[in-house]
A and B are shown apart, each in its own frame.
Chain A
Amino acid sequence: MRVLWGTKREYSDIEVVEGLQRRDASVEEWFYDSSKKYFNKCFNEIFFDKDRKQEVFQTAFIKLWTEIENKRIKVIDGCLCRQQRSGAYEPMNCNLTTFLMAFARTEHRELVRNVHDCYFEEVYDSAMHDSLFAVDGEYDNADELKNRIVDECIMNMSPSCVEILTMFYYKGMSLDEILVARNENTSKDGLKAAKNKCMTTLKKRVLEEYNSCNVG
């Protein structure tokens, strides 16, 4: 442990994984700060603007954070392991920041391909449409697996859909408020249709995954 600025401490990857899994707020904040610094240092020149850069970072960070919280990355016998498609855990041969950068690279590629614009129709990237989970995996419990499935499905959904669904279902905003917040030239009916389609498609995808994993 190294003391920085008197009170802040540094955490190893193992401590980060354990801290995020027990939802330790100080570990979460430290990991965000240190990841951002690393990202800014290593992934700086290719961005068109600051907002896009922030978007790529935050999406990649949430992905990594969710992976850790959902125990797809966990500590086994003092060693950092990642779950493979087969369901088995294998020791990781890279650190968490490398993972973050890999996620950021994918995210950036998506951004360049411009799939982030408002294509309500394109709920999923076709390349991602294979089953995300292995059926022979050893999962701690069905509930946890369902969470992972839903998280993965959300992560692979278009950002527009995620935003609309989050605003409507989580933040409890009305369609009018969403229209104003998103500042888009869409009618209220158009937004309503998009929201319904996003939810239906997401639900369909989640249920498909449940089936293929024999849960639910």
Chain B
Amino acid sequence: MIDNENKTVRDDDAQKRIIERLGERGSKMEKMQRWERASRKSRISLYTAISVAASLLLLVVINPFASRPANAIEELGIMQPAFSVHRGSAEGVAQVEDFIDAGEYYKALDLVEDMLKSSERSIKRAEKVALYDDEEWLYEYKSEKLFNSELRWTYIYLLIVLECESTAVKHLKRYIGDTEFCEHQAEAEKLLKALT
């Protein structure tokens, strides 16, 4: 009888202590969860502070660049190229102007590049049979040279708009070198200076 009572007391004591220690363990778990939440919160605050600081830094550092003209053409206020009236009817010229107006600069560039190559071939062909005393030949030759120069100026314009500045510099040098047909010499020199 006494043994049984003792056993019950021991059982009860053990169970009481088990529950108490489970509680102790449970409160430890709760503390850890609280610390985890606090650490997550402070991490988020830290990341927020870093993001805000980075944004401010970007604003301070990048903003002057953002408000800067996008390219040398804008910076120097150079106008969109226009072709001479009689050459304006040349095949493809109207299309080039349309592409530029629509902002489709890559398409315009491809077209101008083809036209430029074709024009250079025509010039080379004409130079092979140079007839400087033939007025008709001379007129055609000079017209082609002028057209070639206009095409190159347009090509330079498009290259700069499309940020292909190193190729633009190469063509600018060629453009300036052909002084007789270099209609935009002053602008070209300014551009060259701005790009180099």
Interface segment out of the listed B25-33, B63-71, B92-100, B183-191 = B25-33
Q: Which residue of B lies closest to A36 (CB)?
A: B39
Are the C-beta atoms of A207 and B10 separated by less than 8 Å?
yes
Are the C-beta atoms of B35 and A162 separated by less than 8 Å?
no
Are the C-beta atoms of B14 and A169 separated by less than 8 Å?
no
Quick one: which of A29, A32, A61, A170 contacts B22, CB cutoff 8 A? A170
Contacts A154-B21, A166-B25, A169-B22 given: A199-B15 contact, CB under 8 Å?
yes
Chain A, residues 153-173, CB within 8 Å of chain B (1/0): the string is: 110000000100110011100
User: Which B residues are CB-close (under 8 A) to A36?
Assistant: 39
Contacts A147-B17, A170-B19 given: A58-B32 contact, CB under 8 Å?
yes
Interface size on B, residues (CB 8 A): 21
Q: In the complex, A210→B19 CA distance in Å?
A: 16
Are the C-beta atoms of B25 and A62 separated by less than 8 Å?
yes
User: Which B residues are CB-close (under 8 A) to A115?
Assistant: none
Decide if the interface of chain A is mainly helix, strand, loop or mixed: helix
Are the C-beta atoms of B11 and A33 separated by less than 8 Å?
no
Chain A, residues 25-66, CB within 8 Å of chain B (1/0): the string is: 000110011001000000000000000000000100110011
Quick one: which of B11, B17, B26 contacts A146, CB cutoff 8 A? B17
Are the C-beta atoms of B15 and A170 separated by less than 8 Å?
no
Q: Which residue of B lies closest to A207 (CB)?
A: B14
Of A146, A150, A207, which is in contact with the most chain B CB atoms at under 10 Å from its CB?
A150
Quick one: which of A58, A62, A66, A199 contacts B18, CB cutoff 8 A? A199
B binding-site residues for A, Cβ under 8 Å: 10-11, 13-15, 17-19, 21-26, 28-29, 31-32, 35, 38-39
Question: Sorted from nearest, which 6 A-B pairs have the closest CB atoms?
Answer: A170-B26, A150-B21, A170-B23, A169-B19, A166-B26, A206-B14
